[in-house]
Amino acid sequence: MPSAAELDAMRRAIALAAKESPHPNPRVGAVLLDARGEVIGQGGHEGPGRPHAERNALPPDSPVPPGASLVVTLEPCDHHGRTPPCTEAILAAGVRRVVVGATDPDPAVSGRGIERLRSAGVEVETGVLADEVEAMDPAYFLHRRMGRAHFTLKQATTLDGQTAAADGTSRWITGDEARADVHLLRSRVDAVMVGAGTLRNDDPRLDVRLPGYSGPQPIPIVVVGDREPPEDARLWKNPAALVFTARQLDLSVEVVQVPPDPEGKPDLRTIAAVLGERGILDVMVEGGARLAASLWEADLVDRGITYLAATMAGGVGTPAFDRSWKTLAEARRVEIRSVTRIGADLRIDWRPNREGTSA
């Protein structure tokens, strides 16, 4: 059983990992404790080619003191990549106890690091706050298990469920605080995706605009169906932008042509796989209603964040999903994870309940 100090250290390691954006590598945090349970080292993994969290937590040139234990959110790697195996660093430092949060779902890693340490006489405890570790980096775990990107559907609606007026206007349904929260969300994902309709109506930049922010910017992605994208969109000036379509397009940014689905639209499952192959694991979908409906129909919505504005439309404009709801039996249950007041608005975090579909 982990000690109270080790449980506290695991929570600290999770917080350290959550600050980093290392995809396609996993978010990992590590904390080194002395025999009294005091923190004597800690670190997170900053990205591909950078030292792993375990090496950042261990002393660089000296062995650990007797009785020290290493608490790490994810199973230490035991293979050579851009950096040497973490198991080698742990053994070289003389660590005799390792507390692991989650086993690595990557087939190239899973179980091997734990076995290497145990075969060398290291006491290894596993499964400590594993659910919290996976919840901190769900995109990595999904990608390693299913080979595709993880999609978060972000929507902002009036209290009566409208995302825009009939004339297409939608700025601004929510208040300043909720919009700042969206920018914080963007800072934590690999990419932000919209459909061509949103590009045409809003001309978004899909970037992070927070005071003092200097971190990585998400990759802007546009899914283009049968409607023509605007020629003068601001996104075309961003060399990182990606466009997915089922037809030929001549644009100034990279265009990835994918097979059409049965309705002739770009096949979203193929897009999800291509993104995974490119190491773009965590994607936030911000619009519009047609793209949201297509993702929902393809069962590709892994997480939802809905902002309910303190606003009533009082009529029908643009609903959250551009599809017909024919009968109650088509509805699906979702699990509401949290409800948070943000300024005058509400943020609801939810995820689909894939164990049952009927509401």
Q: Phi, psi at residue 280, to the nearest 5°?
A: -95, 95
Strands 29-33 and 39-44: antiparallel
Pair 173, 163: CB distance under 8 Å? yes
Integer Cα distance of 93 and 90 in angstroms: 5
Instruction: Give the single-character DSSP code of 320.
Output: S
Pair 251, 243: CB distance under 8 Å? yes
- Rg of the chain in Å (alpha carbons): 23
Integer Cα distance of 58 and 37 in angstroms: 15
Q: Of 6, 20, 54, 75, which one is the catalytic site residue?
A: 54
Integer Cα distance of 153 and 44 in angstroms: 28
Active site residue 54: yes
Q: What's the N-to-C CA distance of the chain in angstroms?
A: 40
Residues that are catalytic: 54
